[in-house]
């Protein structure tokens, strides 16, 4: 059987909307069959994407939309109970996420825009009519 062709990359935002160690941008996804959000952040000049779902309790990380970094700008932090994650890997670095990690979503920059790549489990959201 032939495998399905890879889904096309989808636009997230302008590249300069994602600030180094600062504001990130959310985007709608369908994650494992449920509505959800992904997010993109910038760290060390590179963009990283994850499913917006804490490894502690499966809820969104950002209490204020787009705020994913803690105050030092070194770690991503869940606003609910303070789990912290390494921005480059999504690995838990402290707090109640012990041993867990964020689910990565492939993102890339091209011509001053950021795109995300749907995969087998994190897909484009259904188009609302
Ligand atoms: S839900 Fe994220 S730290 Fe508890």
Q: Is residue 128 part of a domain?
A: no
Q: What is the pLDDT of residue 1?
A: 56
The model carries a pTM of 0.93
pLDDT number for residue 128: 65
- Residue pair 103/55 in contact (Cβ under 8 Å)? The answer is no
**Average pLDDT of adjacent 10-residue blocks, the chain of 129 residues:** 75 98 97 96 98 97 96 96 98 96 98 97 86
With the most atoms of ligand 1 within 8 angstroms of its CB, the residue from 53, 60, 79, 96 to mutate is 96
Indicate whether 129 belongs to any domain.
no
* pLDDT at residue 52, as a whole number: 98
In the chain, the number of structural domains is 1
Does a structural domain hold residue 125?
A: no
Give domain status of residue 62, yes or no. Answer: yes
- 59 within some domain: yes
**CATH number of domain containing 51:** 2.102.10.10
The pLDDT assigned to 7 comes to: 82
């Amino acid at each position: 059987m032939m495998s399905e062709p890879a889904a096309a990359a989808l636009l997230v935002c302008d590249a300069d909307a994602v600030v180094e160690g600062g504001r990130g941008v959310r985007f709608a996804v369908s994650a494992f069959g449920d509505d959800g959000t992904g997010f993109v952040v910038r760290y060390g000049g590179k963009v990283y994407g994850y499913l917006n779902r804490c490894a502690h309790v499966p809820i969104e990380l950002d209490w204020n939309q787009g705020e994913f970094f803690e105050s030092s700008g070194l770690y991503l932090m869940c606003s609910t109970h303070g789990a912290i994650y390494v921005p480059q890997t999504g690995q838990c670095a402290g707090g109640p996420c012990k041993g867990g990690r964020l689910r990565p979503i492939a993102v890339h920059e091209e011509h001053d825009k950021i795109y995300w790549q749907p995969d087998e489990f994190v897909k484009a959201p259904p188009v609302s009519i």
